[in-house]
């Protein structure tokens, strides 16, 4: 399909020299879009997925955070500082697995992090307090719930706080959004059993 026919978010990904999956139906493009606001603790980012069904593009957007919450900003898990996922494309870095006892998209390939160590509420993407690292850190795509498959009530993303739900993971604000993401991942595996059961996640800066 010609580039002009791509949804705008996929046009943006392609313009940055990153891969877009266009071959067939249910070939998922998972992505995140980070807000320019560098204050942590709120669900002011987006996660989403773009894919084709019967040759037609569909794009889903979900309220989320791509940043750690205030708690882990003030109480980092490691002495190097709180992890913040660096924008970019992480090919095949995610698979369905267990996050704290329930199925989510878990990190199974390397990603790159900033390590912000000054323990304030401002997310630092550069400067003397930031150290870049690449590896396996458990940066999962999960719910802001301990039992998302059992809950039916969604939080209000405009008023809810991230709290302890993210120490660097990509976290859905609502259970509905999380479950839609998981349904899509399982649908791709069902429709394409011979494909690798791994997923690519692309984090963009707001544009």
Q: pLDDT of the chain along its 207 residues, tens only? A: 444 489 999 999 999 999 999 999 999 999 999 998 877 788 999 999 999 999 999 999 999 999 998 788 778 888 788 889 999 999 999 999 999 999 999 999 999 999 887 877 677 777 667 778 899 999 999 999 999 999 777 877 877 889 898 989 999 999 999 999 999 999 999 999 999 999 999 999 987
Closest to 44 in 3D by CA, of 192, 131, 173: 173
Nearest to 31 by CA among 43, 49, 44, 13: 49
10 alpha carbon, distance to own chain's centre:
15
How many Cβ atoms are within 10 Å of 61's Cβ, its own excluded? Answer: 14
Rounded CA separation 143/140 (Å): 10
pLDDT attached to residue 158:
75
pLDDT in the model for residue 115? 87
34 strand-pairing partners: 205
pLDDT for 119: 72
Cα 56 from chain centroid?
A: 24
**Domain layout of the chain by residue ranges:** 3-205
Could you tell me which of 62, 61, 114 has the C-alpha nearest to residue 87? Answer: 114
Q: What is the pLDDT of residue 4?
A: 45
Choose among 186, 170, 157, 144: nearest CA to 48: 170
Note whether 173 and 164 are within 8 A (CB).
Answer: no
């Amino acid at each position: 399909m010609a580039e002009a026919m791509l949804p705008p978010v996929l046009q943006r990904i392609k313009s940055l020299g990153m891969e877009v999956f266009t071959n067939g139906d249910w070939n998922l493009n998972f992505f995140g879009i980070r807000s320019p606001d560098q204050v942590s603790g709120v669900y002011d980012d987006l996660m989403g997925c773009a894919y084709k069904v019967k040759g037609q593009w569909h794009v889903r957007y979900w309220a989320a955070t791509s940043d750690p919450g205030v708690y882990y900003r003030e109480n980092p898990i490691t002495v190097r500082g709180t992890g913040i996922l660096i924008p970019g494309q992480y090919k095949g870095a995610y698979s369905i697995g267990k996050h704290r006892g329930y199925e989510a998209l878990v990190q199974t390939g390397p990603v790159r992090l900033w390590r912000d160590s000054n323990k304030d509420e401002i997310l630092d993407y550069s400067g003397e307090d930031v150290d870049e690292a690449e590896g396996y850190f458990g940066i999962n795509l999960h719910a802001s719930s301990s039992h998302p498959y059992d809950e039916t009530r969604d939080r209000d993303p405009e008023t809810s706080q991230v709290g302890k739900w993210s120490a660097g993971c990509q976290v859905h604000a609502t259970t509905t959004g999380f479950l839609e993401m998981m349904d899509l991942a399982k649908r791709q595996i069902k429709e394409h059993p011979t494909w690798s059961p791994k997923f690519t996640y692309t984090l963009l800066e707001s544009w």
